Amino acid sequence: MDAELYVFEPRSGRGAGVLSDGVAPCSFRDVFPAHNLAPGLARRRLHDWLEAVRWPMESRDDLVLAVSEAVSNAAEHAYPPGLERDITVHASLMVGPSNVQRVIVSVADSGCWREPPVEHQARRRGLQIMRAVTDELRLDVTPVGTRIKMISRPIRRTR
């Protein structure tokens, strides 16, 4: 990854969409309750933001899939049944030398990893999927939560 990447911060607001002056914010942040609806909400809102920043469709779909997997993992494994806490998704559009761009996404929870039930053993593909559709993935598990950081494959924008 380029060492000289920089981020453009949003001028206002939170989440996806286009600002009143027609410019899409260059970062996205949203918080979702950790339940089974969270992955769908995260997919929709991240997709809208990626579309607003004109991220290419194929790479957009990859990032939306990776974030959906990460949010699903957090919703299923971070908190014990009956304890609903939050999952935070943050994404930033990064621009580097030669107009190379990437999206950096983090998905974080404040829970503690719980092993999946035996009947879910055959489903354990989330991290493999996330690695397959991103350029880089980092998993940070601590006593106060888990954070997955994913970096998109680079794209080069022409002006």
94 lies in some domain: yes
Q: Report the number of distinct structural domains present in the chain.
A: 1
- Phi first, then psi, for residue 18 (nearest 5°) are -120, 140
141 lies in some domain: yes
Cα angle 26, 9, 152; round to 5: 45
Q: Which domain holds residue 125?
A: 6-156
- Other Cβ atoms less than 10 A from the Cβ of 112: the count is 15
> DSSP readout, 119-142?
GGGGG--HHHHHHHHSSEEEEEEE
Domain of 132, CATH number, reads: 3.30.565.10
What would the mean pLDDT of 95-113 be, rounded to a whole number? Answer: 89
Q: In the prediction, which pLDDT does 79 show?
A: 80
Q: Terminal CA-to-CA distance of the chain, rounded, Å?
A: 22
1 lies in some domain: no
**Structure token pair of residue 23:** 């410019």
Mean pLDDT of the chain: 81
pTM: 0.79
**Residue 89: strand pairing partners:** 30, 107
The predicted-structure confidence for 28-81, as pLDDT tens digits, reads as follows 999 999 988 999 999 999 999 999 999 999 899 999 999 999 999 998 888 877
The predicted-structure confidence for 66-95, as pLDDT tens digits, reads as follows 999 999 999 888 887 777 789 999 999 998
DSSP for residue 96 = -
Higher pLDDT, 106 or 98: 106
Work out the angle between the directed axes of helices 57-77 and 38-52 (0-180°, nearest 10): 150
Is the pLDDT score of 124 beyond 80?
no
pLDDT over 90, % of the chain? 54
Residue type, 64: V
